[in-house]
């Protein structure tokens, strides 16, 4: 396979920056020296090592995308921007024929899928790019489908902690709510305990100080109505490497689908795991 041209959007966001560092070192990819960024970003460029990356604000991207395409030809866009930008970014990619991998959470997810399905591109869209966590979710989805009501009468608590800069409630936690609902738990996404205070995270949760700027700690606790039985599922992630590795796999998966002529399809990380 020839080297794949990649444009990482969301710089100088933390996950986007880590992806930039990884892709620069990966001989399978060529990193475009430009990135779509948010309207609040005042910097015009970002330095990653010796590489200068031009930052393109939303009001500039329509004017600049043609030149980028003429210079670099085909490329995959990776989107780790902001929840508020999800739908407008997807619309932009689809209008300009840019296949993409989106790990950004939030937005109108049905509208997001509809935009891609009506377009000439395909995309991998997932609220979580960590393969192992996605696999855990798949197991829970299987249980929900095959053992409905399994935890009927149990109370549920979902707690999630992410770095202070994460604006929205975890998309993974939200997805888990639907599985537990089918398993018999009366629970709403509004009931999720969301922690973003570094002081509380360190002192009460025990999250290492060095990881307060990048972590994802989740615990799902089920308690029987008489208090005699307790189940607890926990996945604690420190750092962002797990998301970078999953995103790279998603890119390679999408490239193969595009090479096979697949258009107008939305793939999930479950598809990536199954390699279907």
Q: Of 22, 162, 215, 218, which residue is the catalytic one?
A: 162
The token pair at 167 is 């604006």
Instruction: Clarify whether 118 is annotated catalytic.
Output: no
- DSSP tag of 45: E
Instruction: Clarify whether 218 is annotated catalytic.
Output: no
Which of 178, 165, 163 is CA-nearest to residue 211? 163
Q: What whole-number distance in Å separates Cα of residue 234 and Cα of residue 227?
A: 20
Beta strands in the chain (DSSP E): 4-9, 29-31, 34-36, 45-48, 51-56, 76-79, 100-102, 123-125, 155-162, 193-195, 215-223, 230-238, 266-267
Q: How many C-beta atoms lie closer than 10 Å to residue 165's C-beta? A: 10
Residue 215 φ then ψ, to 5°: -160, 170
* Cα 147 to Cα 139, 140, 150, 186, 189, distances in angstroms: 12, 10, 6, 16, 21
3-state secondary structure at position 5: strand
Question: Which residues fall within 8 angstroms of residue 13, CB to CB, at 6 or more apart?
Answer: 80, 81, 82
Q: Of 131, 166, 215, 257, which residue is the catalytic one?
A: 166
Contact 153, 116 (CB under 8 A): no
Which amino acids are annotated catalytic? Answer: 162, 166
């Amino acid at each position: 396979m020839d080297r794949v041209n990649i444009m990482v959007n969301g710089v100088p966001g933390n996950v986007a920056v880590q992806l930039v560092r990884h892709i620069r070192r990966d001989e399978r990819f060529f990193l475009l020296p430009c990135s779509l960024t948010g309207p609040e970003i005042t910097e015009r460029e970002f330095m990653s090592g010796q590489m200068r990356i031009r930052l393109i604000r939303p009001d500039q991207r329509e004017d600049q995308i043609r030149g980028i395409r003429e210079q670099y030809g085909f490329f995959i866009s990776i989107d780790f921007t902001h929840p508020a930008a999800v739908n407008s970014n997807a619309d932009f990619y689809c209008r300009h024929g840019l296949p993409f991998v989106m790990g950004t959470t939030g937005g109108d997810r049905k509208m997001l899928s509809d935009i891609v399905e009506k377009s000439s591109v395909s995309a991998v869209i997932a609220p979580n790019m960590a393969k192992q966590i996605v696999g855990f979710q798949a197991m829970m989805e299987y249980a929900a489908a095959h053992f409905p009501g399994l935890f009927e009468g149990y109370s549920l608590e979902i707690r999630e902690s992410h770095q202070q800069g994460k604006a929205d409630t975890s998309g993974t936690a939200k997805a888990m709510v639907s599985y537990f609902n089918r398993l018999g738990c009366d629970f709403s996404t509004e009931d999720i305990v969301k922690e973003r205070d570094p002081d509380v995270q360190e002192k009460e949760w025990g999250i290492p100080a060095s990881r307060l700027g990048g972590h994802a700690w989740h615990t799902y606790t089920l308690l029987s109505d008489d208090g005699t039985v307790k189940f607890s599922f926990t996945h604690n992630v420190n750092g962002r490497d797990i998301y970078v590795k999953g995103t790279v796999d998603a890119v390679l998966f999408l490239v193969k689908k595009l090479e096979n002529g697949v258009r107008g399809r939305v793939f999930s990380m479950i598809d990536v795991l199954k390699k279907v």
